[in-house]
Amino acid sequence: MDVAILHDELVSDLGSRGYAAMSDEDVAAALNAREIVTYREVPLVAITREMIMMSDARGRFVWDNVRAAAADSGYVGHDLARRLCFLFEGGLPVNWGGAAAQQLLAQAVAVEFFTAEQADILKDTGKVMISRAEQLGLETVRVGEIMDARREDQDHD
């Protein structure tokens, strides 16, 4: 455990969690609670598994609609459909937390390739809940480590 990182977190309290007023046990629980939403790269197979089951209001598969729009240069969403095909057929993992991927999904909803609910389902394939400790690069924080970090603060006074 990097006590210096833990000490800095307790002193700066950038998230305004109120560490100073908490017991060591409460601080450890707060740091270990998985409350922060983040996104990881999602293998294409996981996205495909969700997408192949999606259909539009008329019962047509969403992916078939996207591929048809990519082939039709006269279709309003043609360029977007081509980007979606490139993304999904390229085989690379996707990070839905990135601004470009979020914008792509929003555009796909705007031209009605997906519904907002379907876009959320795709985005959720990469959703991960992490703790503040994980976000700081720490493993599970133990009560004794909180005590050490607080003691470090007293040692510097």
Handedness of CA 85, 86, 91, 95 (dihedral sign): negative
Q: What is the pLDDT of residue 122?
A: 87
Q: Could you tell me the mean pLDDT of each successive run of 10 residues in the chain, 157 residues long?
A: 90 90 95 92 80 84 90 91 85 82 91 90 89 94 93 65
Non-local CB neighbours of 154 within 8 Å, separated by 6+ positions: none
- In sequence order, what DSSP letters do the residues of the chain get, joined into one string? --HHHHHHHHHH-TT---GGGS-HHHHHHHHHSEEEEEE-EE-HHHHHHHHTT-B-TTS-BHHHHHHHHHH-TTSTTHHHHHHHHHHHHS---EETTSHHHHHHHHHHHHTTSS-HHHHHHHHHTTEEEEEHHHHTT-----HHHHHHHHHHHHHT-
Q: What is the pLDDT of residue 153?
A: 61
Q: What is the pLDDT of residue 108?
A: 92
Interior angle at CA 50, CA 48 and CA 112, nearest 5:
95
